[in-house]
Amino acid sequence: MNFDFSDAQKALKQQTRDFLRAACDTTVPRRVLEDTDEPFARDLWQQICANESPGIAIPEEVGGIGFGYLELCVVAEEMGRAIAPVPFSSSVYLAAEAILQGGSEEQKERLLPRLASGESIGTFALSEGPGQATVANLQATLRDGRLSGTKMPVPDGDVADLCVVVAKDGEGASLAVVDLAAEGVSREPVDTLDPSRSHARITFDGAEAELLGEAGQGWATKDAVFNRAAVLFAMEQLGGADACLQMAIGYAKGRYAFGRPIGSFQAIKHKLADMYIKNELARANCYYGAWALSTDAPELPVAAAAARVAATQAFHFASKENIQTHGGIGFTWESDCHLYYRRSKLLALSIGSERVWKDRLISGLERQEAA
Amino acid sequence: MDFNDTPEQAAYRAEVRAWLGANAEPRKDRPSVSRRLDAEEGLALAKAWQARKADAGYACRHWPVAHGGQGRPMIETIIYDQEEANFDVPTGFFSIGLGMCGPVMAQYATQEQQARFIPPLMRGEEVWCQLFSEPAAGSDVAGLRTRCHRDGDDWVVNGQKVWTSGAHYSDWGILVARHDSSLPKHKGLTFFFIDMKSPGIDIKPIKQINGGSNFNEVFFTNVRVPDSQRLGAIGEGWQVAITTLMNERLAVGDAPPPDFREVMKLAAACELDGRSALEDSSVREKIADWYVEAMGMKHTKARTMTALSQGKVPGPENSIGKVVSASKLQNVSSFGADLMDMGGVITDPSLMPSDALFQQSFLYSPGLRIAGGTDEILRNIIAERVLGLPGEIRVDRDVPYSDIPTGN
Ligand SMILES: Cc1cc2nc3c(=O)[nH]c(=O)nc-3n(C[C@H](O)[C@H](O)[C@H](O)COP(=O)(O)OP(=O)(O)OC[C@H]3O[C@@H](n4cnc5c(N)ncnc54)[C@H](O)[C@@H]3O)c2cc1C
């Protein structure tokens, strides 16, 4: 058995962590959070692109560097730890994956090099507002290569160049690529719980849209893309959860009450131990998900859902209990605690809620058992 | 056992309900009026409402007539509060004054001071704040550093308070300061009430994680307080503070909505897997849990009310209130956002169910688990004072304050 990342992958992880520690300490997400005119950290994004991180898992033939998904996973964990305010997840885990999963060879060759280099930012639009999107309730419609309808919240939708949209197409759903600069597209930022990652409401009014994959088969492709993205989002959540734990440990050692460090009280010790337990359970599930993703294993749907559920729970718990460990200061804007609390909820809902992933987990398990 | 009001209580309840119906708007499924307005507008509205209530005889009804109350049984105040909870009225601005400062003044101030200060406090004409917590002393409030020394008929105060809710619009405050740091921590404290407009007081708002700024840093530089504004003896500050904190625990308790009822409405309006989310067993299970908690609290209060209406002292069961309700609010808020799935992160009220009530409360609920005693401190209190478990071994009790270890 060798259930571990290779030395090279570990080195990449360390390198990414060192890079982000220098280029993206918490003042960077805070800057984007507070500055309504800066939808994402452009300077950081440029450096990430110069490091070729967006193309890490994209094959060389289509402009990537073709390392693989384990490499992308370690980078994702560090992006999450740094709560990096960049469109990495939208462009890499969602848009590029959708094109890889659903696109023709021609489309891959045409669209992926720009996403791999970071020259273009991509995103993915499924949600149409509060409530779960299903094939039956989709309002956005694709007809004769034209797309109409409204999508929100679209992550990075205000800055992205291209968008993969899930739209109703006859009885089913299709995926379509839309150039967001095209005629018939209007967009505006929409306020969310985590303004360090911008979101938009995009209205399509007969915008030109290019089919991605077979007409009417888009929902299954979306599910496949989300299974892959779930592992990557979970890695980010894991990084965020670990950052909260480290922050809480540091504070609990240095803060005194009743003449003792608060970390000497068992109420705090047990809280932090519980964080650690949840994080380690999430870590193990995430690594298993990473294995399934990197090997295209048939276990992927279950492994991805398990990673997603565990990491969602771990980050939620760690971010809220990190605030609690800090007491009054944790409830201030000035403290970094809320940056993680906001990000944890954003990531928890990004590709569907915990409830949705639990459901997918059990459905996957049923299929696995039946096979 | 029954839930019937006595004929007298029922008549009073009907009267209150009619008065509220004529004077206030029923509560709607959205953030309350205090959360929709900015602080200044909210305060003006709250002052007007408190005065109207006082004129009608419904404010602090159980307080003595000399303090502006009606000298009526506590149960009438509770009945009024129960009925008022169904209406969208501005709340929050006076809870510290009414819940803590009024009672401490009633217990420790002179007759003349009571006559001067309690009626305007009760009518909402003067707002009060609580200057206890400091950067290095929150849970361990007896560890506070703000100094005071006697100078003629005055005391001179130097130091800093923090998290002082409402300091920026308060007229008066209650303050604990240290007059002698060579004494053990609990023995060197003295308690005052203080004019918030005194020279040398500098108030800086602190921004909260939800973007609002309801609490403040308060700096004291040679602030003079007349000795006549000392409450309790020199060195008795801790006992006075403890009395106040006991009142605080009675005053804070209920968290604002959303609760199970709002989640239930939301679930009925949301779809999960193509059917009403309310039909989903995982959703039903959550709502059931919160219902049980909410009813547990409601009926715990009914037990308290029964004791009060029979003139008995309530049992310790009320101590569970804030631990239960603060976490419930956080969990309910988080789950409400989850029910909206990917759209649940949007905070623009115009795009969201219940005007983004769940998203708003997701951001402010963490504060409720800290304010007025953290979850951990309240559990310690339950364990030690209610259950009689042995206390922590203390390293800070019988040594001079100046020798107690401190961190960063
Ligand atoms: C919204 C809000 C409004 C407030 N309003 C006021 C106000 O108007 N006036 C005022 O005076 N104060 C106010 N406070 C301050 C509040 O009372 C303190 O923040 C609170 O008591 C915690 O103190 P602290 O912030 O110093 O945290 P700390 O005491 O440093 O606590 C940090 C962590 O250590 C834990 N801890 C500390 N001691 C123990 C122990 N013995 N056992 C186990 N765990 C322990 C705590 O539970 C917490 O998790 C307010 C706070 C908030 C959030």
B41 inside 8 A of chain A by CB: no
Residues 95-154 of B with CB under 8 A from A: 133, 136-140, 143
A190 inside 8 A of chain B by CB: yes
Domain that holds residue A52: 7-117
Contacts of A353 in chain B (CB under 8 A): 338-339, 341-342, 344
Quickly tell me which residue has 């008022």 as its tokens: B84
- The gap from C-alpha A89 to its chain's centroid, in whole angstroms, comes to 4
pLDDT at B226 over 60: yes
Domain that holds residue B196: 128-236
CA dist A150 and A20 (Å) reads 35
CA of B216 from ligand 1 middle (Å) equals: 14
Contact flag A331-B209 (C-beta cutoff 8 Å): yes
Q: Are residues A111 and A147 in the same domain?
A: no
Distance (Å) of CA B59 to CA A104, B65, B129: 73, 11, 19
Distance (Å) of CA B162 to CA B144, B248, B371: 11, 17, 12
Q: Are residues B171 and B232 in the same domain?
A: yes
Q: Under 8 Å CB-to-CB from A366, ≥6 apart: which residues?
A: none
- Using alpha carbons only, how large is chain B's radius of gyration in Å? 22
- Is the distance from the beta carbon of residue A362 to the nearest atom of ligand 1 less than 6 Å? no
A268 inside 8 A of chain B by CB: yes
Cβ neighbours of B351 (radius 10 Å): 17
How many structural domains comprise chain B?
3
Return the SS3 of A213: coil
Residue at A116: amino acid letter: A
Q: Are residues A293 and A340 in the same domain?
A: yes
CA dist A172 and A225 (Å) reads 17
pLDDT category at B249 given cuts 50, 70, 90 is low
Burial class, B151, CB count within 10 angstroms (exposed 0-12 / middle 13-18 / buried 19+): exposed
Contacts of B352 in chain A (CB under 8 A): 130
Quickly tell me which residue has 């799935």 as its tokens: B341
Q: Minimum mean pLDDT among A80-84, A313-317, B48-52, B392-396: which range?
A: B392-396
Q: Which of A101, A117, A133 is the C-terminal boundary of a domain?
A: A117
Q: Are residues B264 and B335 in the same domain?
A: yes
- Is the distance from the beta carbon of residue A264 to the nearest atom of ligand 1 less than 6 Å? no
Q: What is the CATH number of the domain that holds B146?
A: 2.40.110.10
How many structural domains comprise chain A?
3
A1 within domain boundaries: no
Q: Which stretches of chain A score pLDDT less than 50? A: none
CA-CA-CA-CA torsion sign (B384, B388, B390, B396): positive
**pLDDT at residue B250 in the model:** 58
Q: Are residues A105 and A126 in the same domain?
A: no
Q: Are residues A254 and A360 in the same domain?
A: yes
Q: Are residues A269 and A355 in the same domain?
A: yes
Helix (H) / strand (E) containing A258:
none
Contact flag B407-A191 (C-beta cutoff 8 Å): no
pLDDT category at B248 given cuts 50, 70, 90 is low
B121 within domain boundaries: no
B351 inside 8 A of chain A by CB: yes
Contact A214, A172 (CB under 8 A): no
pLDDT category at B408 given cuts 50, 70, 90 is low
Q: Which of B211, B236, B261 is the C-terminal boundary of a domain?
A: B236
> Smallest Cβ distance to B345: which of A257, A258, A345?
A345
Contact A203, A169 (CB under 8 A): no
Q: Are residues A126 and A207 in the same domain?
A: yes
Q: Are residues A320 and A334 in the same domain?
A: yes
Residue at B209: amino acid letter: I
Q: What is the CATH number of the domain that holds B29?
A: 1.10.540
CA dist A318 and A245 (Å) reads 6
Residue nearest to atom 36 of ligand 1 (CA): A262
pLDDT digits (tens, 9 = 90+) for B269-310: 999 888 999 999 999 999 999 999 999 998 988 888 788 777
Query: CA of B352: which chain A residue's CA is closest?
Result: A130
pLDDT at B254 over 80: no
**pLDDT at residue A68 in the model:** 95
Q: Are residues B293 and B354 in the same domain?
A: yes
Q: Is B248 a catalytic residue?
A: yes
Structure tokens given for B149: 């020394």
pLDDT digits (tens, 9 = 90+) for B90-126: 888 999 999 899 999 999 999 999 999 999 999 999 9
Query: CA of A268: which chain B residue's CA is closest?
Result: B376
B390 within domain boundaries: no
pLDDT category at B39 given cuts 50, 70, 90 is confident
Q: Are residues A95 and A229 in the same domain?
A: no
* Mutation choice for A interface testing from B208, B214, B280, B345 by most A CBs within 10 A: B345
pTM above 0.95, yes or no: yes
- Is the distance from the beta carbon of residue B370 to the nearest atom of ligand 1 less than 6 Å? yes
Question: What are the φ and ψ backbone dihedral angles of A11, each rounded to 5 degrees?
Answer: -65, -40
Q: Are residues A254 and A190 in the same domain?
A: no
B391 inside 8 A of chain A by CB: no
Beta strands per DSSP E along A77-161: 122-125, 141-143, 146-155
A130 within domain boundaries: yes
B395 inside 8 A of chain A by CB: yes
Q: Are residues A191 and A315 in the same domain?
A: no
**Residue A161's closest CA among A239, A96, A80?**
A96
**pLDDT at residue B332 in the model:** 98
State the catalytic residue, choosing from B134, B248, B262, B293: B248
A139 within domain boundaries: yes
Q: What is the CATH number of the domain that holds B307?
A: 1.20.140.10
- Is the distance from the beta carbon of residue B251 to the nearest atom of ligand 1 less than 6 Å? no
- Could you say which DSSP state residue A89 is in? I
**Residue B193's closest CA among B86, B118, B143, B273?**
B118
A149 within domain boundaries: yes
CA dist A293 and A225 (Å) reads 11
pLDDT at B5 over 60: yes
B408 within domain boundaries: no
pLDDT digits (tens, 9 = 90+) for B127-182: 999 999 999 999 999 999 999 999 999 999 999 999 999 999 999 999 999 999 99
- Could you say which DSSP state residue A60 is in? G
Q: What is the CATH number of the domain that holds A240?
A: 1.20.140.10
CA dist B216 and A136 (Å) reads 51
CA dist A151 and A338 (Å) reads 27
CA-CA-CA-CA torsion sign (A340, A132, A199, A175): positive
pLDDT at B35 over 80: no
A108 within domain boundaries: yes
Q: Which ipTM score applies to this complex?
A: 0.97
A239 within domain boundaries: yes
B264 within domain boundaries: yes
Q: Which of A83, A100, A117 is the C-terminal boundary of a domain?
A: A117
Contact flag A267-B379 (C-beta cutoff 8 Å): yes
CA dist B408 and B406 (Å) reads 7
CA of B135 from ligand 1 middle (Å) equals: 10
Q: Are residues A240 and A358 in the same domain?
A: yes
CA of A258 from ligand 1 middle (Å) equals: 12
Residue at A54: amino acid letter: P
**SS3 of chain B:** CCCCCCHHHHHHHHHHHHHHHHHCCECCCCCCHHHHCCHHHHHHHHHHHHHHHHHCCCCCCCCCHHHCCCCCCHHHHHHHHHHHCCECCCCCCCHHHHHHHHHHHHHHCCHHHHHHHHHHHHHCCCCEEEECCECCECCCHHHCCCEEEEECCEEEEEEEEEEEECHHHCCEEEEEEECCCCCEHHHCEEEEEEECCCCCEEEEEECECCCCCCEEEEEEEEEEEEHHHEECCCCCHHHHHHHHHHHHHHHCCCCCCCCHHHHHHHHHHCEECCEEHHHCHHHHHHHHHHHHHHHHHHHHHHHHHHHHHCCCCCCHHHHHHHHHHHHHHHHHHHHHHHHCHHHHHECCHHHCHHHHHHHHHHHHHHHHCCCCCCHHHHHHHHHHHHCCCCCCCCCCCCCEHHHCCCCC
A2 within domain boundaries: no
Residues 266-305 of B with CB under 8 A from A: 270-274, 280, 282-283
Q: Which of A95, A117, A139 is the C-terminal boundary of a domain?
A: A117
Q: Are residues A18 and A147 in the same domain?
A: no
